[in-house]
Amino acid sequence: MNRSLIRSTFSLLNTDYVQLNKNWVYKNVTSTFYRLYYIDAGEGRLQTADGTVKLEAGFLYLIPSFTTCTYSCDDYLGQYYISFAEESADGVSLFASNRKLFKIPATDAAINAIKRLLSINPNRTLRTSTNPKVYEKRPILKSFSQLNELMHASAYMETSGILQQLLSMFLAPGLFLMEDKSIIHSKISDAINYIQTNLQHEITVAHLAKRANHNADYFSRLFYENTGERPLPYIHVKRIERAQLLLSTTNMPFYDIAAETGFENLSYFSRIFKKITGQTPGGYKKNSLIM
């Protein structure tokens, strides 16, 4: 059994069917949760730093957590949407090395599963707003999460099963890059996993290089060739992603969040947080609370 696939559990936040128009334009959205779309009519676009993906009828789309994306529609878009959260014992996301847009044809099984999910979760709509700046606020996310505690056991288990069924469709060899061992050098893959599971501790490039039995310069070049980033900036991004999640979903003091994400002091944490997100931790926290 692939242990990396059983570390994570997924819980439903919201789901519904909407008909969107040209007002559906939201730029550079970075969510702490996943989005899955099934398009049954019309057209739209998803855009990341890697390019633009067309939203078109008959396809499923998956946007993993912390994937920065711009959404747009020129005229009309019929969209089934599912938003869900991920938790894992070691804090490592299933899609940690696959923060990209996924697009696959929608099978009859997928369409039926999505419609079934809606039918057993009729109170998970976002009809008040399709604007991420509104529905990603922590009180709203918390209210959706709390609904899971109120579900009947059979509906909760079926919902969890459907989410796993839908996610499994995006894990096919060649589509889910983590399964292709030639994509990322084994020692870099090991380093990435070590980073994700030790964010609360000191992590130096020298230590990572020593674990890989390379000198620091060679390891840094190898890391860049495989990830497109140098080790230290990569570590900073992963620390800040974890901090964003803690700011959005907990009441932990900033000092504790800084310590939990491996920053030696609050000042350094705040500086790196603003450099990566464009906001101070306080500003980010305030935006996550304002409804």
Length of the chain measured in residues: 291
The verdict on 77 and 127 lying in the same domain is yes
The verdict on 168 and 194 lying in the same domain is no
**What was the pLDDT predicted at 184?**
62
- Evaluated on CA atoms 145, 73, 101, 70, the torsion sign reads negative
User: How many separate domains does the chain show?
Assistant: 2
Tokens of 275: 């450099």
**What was the pLDDT predicted at 1?**
40
Contact 81, 18 (CB under 8 A): yes
Question: In terms of residue numbers, what domain contains 266?
Answer: 184-289
CATH number, domain of 279, equals 1.10.10.60
Residue type, 131: N
Residue type, 183: I
> Residues 41-83: pLDDT tens digits?
999 999 987 889 999 999 999 998 878 888 999 999 999 999 9
**What was the pLDDT predicted at 159?**
93
The verdict on 164 and 193 lying in the same domain is no
Q: How far is it, in rounded angstroms, from Cα 244 to Cα 32? A: 7
Helix, coil or strand: residue 276: helix
Collect all residues with Cβ–Cβ distance below 8 Å to 229 and sequence separation of at least 6: 223, 237
**What was the pLDDT predicted at 142?**
53
**What was the pLDDT predicted at 148?**
65
Supply angle C-alpha 113, 118, 121, rounded to 5. Answer: 125
CATH number, domain of 74, equals 2.60.120.280
Q: Which of 145, 86, 156 is nearest to 121 (CA)?
A: 156
The verdict on 257 and 150 lying in the same domain is no
Would you state the torsion angle of the CA atoms of residues 263, 141, 28, 103, taken in this order, to the nearest 10 degrees?
Answer: 110
Supply angle C-alpha 229, 247, 95, rounded to 5. Answer: 45
**What was the pLDDT predicted at 85?**
85
Residue 264: alpha-carbon gap to chain centroid: 26
* Residue 50 DSSP label: T
**What was the pLDDT predicted at 139?**
47
Task: Cite the beta strand spans of the chain per DSSP E.
Answer: 8-21, 26-29, 34-48, 51-56, 59-63, 69-72, 76-88, 102-105
The verdict on 169 and 209 lying in the same domain is no
The list of the chain residues with pLDDT below 50 reads 1, 133-139, 176-182, 290-291
Q: Which of 17, 12, 180, 139 is nearest to 87 (CA)?
A: 12
Residue 101: alpha-carbon gap to chain centroid: 11
The verdict on 140 and 26 lying in the same domain is yes
Q: How far is it, in rounded angstroms, from Cα 84 to Cα 141? A: 10
The verdict on 140 and 257 lying in the same domain is no
Q: Which long-range contacts (CB under 8 A, 24 or more apart) does 113-116 make?
A: 113/162, 113/165, 113/166, 114/15, 114/38, 114/80, 114/82, 114/162, 114/166, 115/80, 116/158, 116/162
